[in-house]
Amino acid sequence: MNKIFRLLAFLLFIAAMPLVSSCSDSDSDASSDESSICMVTSAVLGGVPYTVHTTTSDGRDSTYEAMLTGANYPLSIDHIGGRIYLQDSLPAGSDVSRMTFASFTYQGSAIAIRSLTTATDTIFNLNDSTDCSLPRLITVYGADGSQRTYTLELRVHKQVGDEMNWTRLATQPQVAALQKQKLLVSGGVLYLFGQSESDTELLTSTDKGLTWERTTITPDLRPRSVTLVDDTFFALDGIGNLFTSPDGAAWTPVDGRMFTTLAGGAGRLFGVAEDMLWSSADGVSWTADELSETAPLPAKEWSGIAIASATNVGFSDLILVGLAADGTPAPWHRTIDLSGRYTFPWNSFVGITVDYPILRSTSLTAYDGAPLLAGLNADGTLAGLYISRDKGKTWLSSEIIAPDVLPATSVSIASDEENNLFVLLGGSGEVWCGKLARLNWNAVQHDFYR
């Protein structure tokens, strides 16, 4: 009876209004009197029912319902456009047919919601569960009969954000024939360097790994030493001499010292020589870098990349990983000031790194703003994809799931500017392309400037 009485009172209130006038911001004649105020001032979601998929101890798929904290998914209010919407969609599995609000405040004398079944306005009771599986119309009324209508829309992602979607492109005999592979991406072109039975070869693909063109490289370079700095390739030959190339096919020697390790990033070239780390902007002039401590440098299974700093604009993090001469992990990190104003030393994670895998044919790339490492087990199976969110100190294989591949003789990974992750396997010749679901979503604008 109480609900019926309130509904009748609300309907009588609406019917008694002598004049319904708009209180939108575009109406220059709207009354400035407080009796004309009608707007939603804030809205915060309450608990969001959420279906969790899991696996039982005997390996069966199972689900259970949990509750997400709605305050973690902010609502935005657009008074001009008349919208109340999420800054980002709710996770896949959210049930928006049973929504509650932690708070929903407005200025005005009454608030109503349009029924999904009768298409009539009824009192908006914030204590009731609200079906938001479809957009809902919410109207706020001022004391003088003014009104403002908002469309409340709660969107739900159709994919799990951290789901890795893999596509097996093809089996390529040319890829299968190459060992000691190194994959690089520049300008939308995939460059795969490798060793055949008699030559160092380059395979290039302009269609994201579907077809490849073969080039034999002279001199005989070490494929896994090839690195890319500002669209220029650098590599080492068998005894450590440095070479450079504009296209990865034609190579020219560079006079200077001999290196055992080569990596590039943040507009600079880095190498290990004489048990020291050196850096260069052009491959000709080299400077001995400062080491913060004495620790083993990478001697084998080494790779290096640069990642844009997640905390400081204008800085990059250089990650250099590999195994020391005794086979133990030897990861190093250095902060790079891209302006050149500050110079920082290398910091060693030797002895404190966590879960860095002891693998062969390791390959490193930047993905989702972090270094991502791949490698093979002793039996040729892909060990997984290891990502580090703390600049190379801790490595996790549970975050990005690797594709289900055949045993291989070598593996190489690289990512492109569209967040595609490529995995190429020597021996089997498999070519895979994957992408995290959330990296395919449109970015939501949170800040607006006039």
What is the SS3 assignment for 104-163?
EEEECCEEEEECCCCCCEEECCCCCCECCCCCEEEEEECCCCCEEEEEEECCECCCCCCC
Q: What does DSSP assign to residue 55?
A: E
Whether the CB-CB separation of 259 and 331 falls below 8 Å is answered with: no
Confidence of residue 193 (pLDDT cuts 50, 70, 90): very high
Q: What is the pTM of this model?
A: 0.69
Q: What is the mean pLDDT of residues 56-77?
A: 85
- Cα-to-chain-centroid distance, residue 333: 21
Residue 118 has pLDDT above 70, yes or no: yes
Residue closest to 124 by CA, chosen among 146, 92, 99, 93: 99
pLDDT at 10: 52
Q: What is the mean pLDDT of residues 129-133?
A: 92
Residue 376 has pLDDT above 90, yes or no: yes
Residue 75, number of CB atoms within 10 A of its CB: 21
Rounded Cα–Cα distance for residues 274 and 98 (Å) = 67
Sequence-ordered list of residues with C-beta below 8 angstroms from that of 191, at least 6 positions apart, any chain: 183, 184, 185, 202, 203, 204, 226, 233, 248
Tokens 């290096």 sit on residue? 304
Residue 127 has pLDDT above 90, yes or no: no
Q: What does DSSP assign to residue 9?
A: H
Residue 326 has pLDDT above 90, yes or no: yes
* 9 or 415, greater pLDDT: 415
Confidence of residue 161 (pLDDT cuts 50, 70, 90): low
Residue 448 has pLDDT above 70, yes or no: no
Residue 6 has pLDDT above 80, yes or no: no
Residue 90 has pLDDT above 80, yes or no: yes
* 267 or 177, greater pLDDT: 177
pLDDT above 90 coverage of the chain, percent: 68
Structure tokens at 46: 């309450």
Give tens-digit pLDDT for 256-313: 788 988 998 888 899 999 889 999 988 999 999 999 999 999 999 999 999 999 888 8
Give tens-digit pLDDT for 142-159: 999 899 999 999 988 776
Give the start-end residues of each E strand in 144-220.
147-153, 164-171, 179-186, 189-195, 200-205, 213-217
Residue 59 has pLDDT above 70, yes or no: no
Confidence of residue 162 (pLDDT cuts 50, 70, 90): low
pLDDT at 446: 46
For CA atoms 217, 220, 225, 227, give the dihedral sign: negative
| Start-to-end CA span in the chain (Å) | 51
